[in-house]
């Protein structure tokens, strides 16, 4: 069955510290991979995506993610967290076909302490 696992429900990081949010997926073929962020009262904003090529992808707001096929992982990283990064982060996968569903993980809530 297709699924996305985000093992960490809640993470607290000190401002300025590095961040890594984990994402593992189970999918029949190599999917397209996404990270979305949701701030309170807001919709889901795309941080970055992986389709093919370089397995390290850069996104907005200083985020990056690395696709590791052997581990079926797509972990999100940021070298220095800012208080404004506090939000909920969702990993998602989608088929390589237009107009199809995204499958989301349960999300990781990031809190940033000062």
Are 74 and 84 a contacting pair, CB within 8 Å?
A: no
**Strands 56-58 and 64-68: what pairing?**
antiparallel
| Residue 58 CB, nearest approach to another protein (Å) | 15
Q: Applying CB under 8 A, does 18 fall inside the site for another protein?
A: no
Binds another protein by CB under 8 A, chosen from 28, 52, 54, 99: 99
Q: Are 33 and 24 in contact (CB under 8 A)?
A: no
Inter-residue contact 74 to 67 (CB < 8 Å): yes
Number of Cβ atoms within 10 Å of the Cβ of 32: 17
Least distance CB 64 / another protein (angstroms): 17
Between 81 and 90, name the residue whose CB sits nearer to another protein: 90
Of 57, 87, 105, 110, the one binding another protein by CB under 8 A: 105
Nearer to another protein, 63 or 90 (CB): 90
CA dihedral 10, 12, 16, 18 (to 10 degrees): -50
**Residue 42 interacting with another protein (CB under 8 A):** yes
Q: Which among 15-23, 39-47, 58-66, 73-81 is the span making contact with another protein, rule CB under 8 A?
A: 39-47
**Interface with another protein, residue 100, by CB under 8 A:** yes
């Amino acid at each position: 069955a297709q699924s996305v696992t985000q093992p960490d429900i809640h993470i607290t990081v000190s401002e300025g510290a590095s961040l890594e949010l984990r994402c593992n997926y189970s999918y029949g073929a190599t999917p397209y991979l996404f990270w979305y962020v949701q701030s309170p009262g807001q919709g889901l904003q795309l941080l970055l995506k992986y389709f093919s090529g370089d397995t390290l992808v850069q996104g907005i707001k200083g985020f990056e993610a690395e696709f590791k096929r052997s581990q079926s992982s797509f972990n999100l990283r940021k070298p220095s967290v800012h208080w404004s990064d506090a939000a909920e982060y969702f990993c998602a996968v989608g088929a390589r076909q237009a107009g199809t569903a995204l499958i989301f993980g349960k999300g990781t809530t990031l809190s940033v302490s000062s």
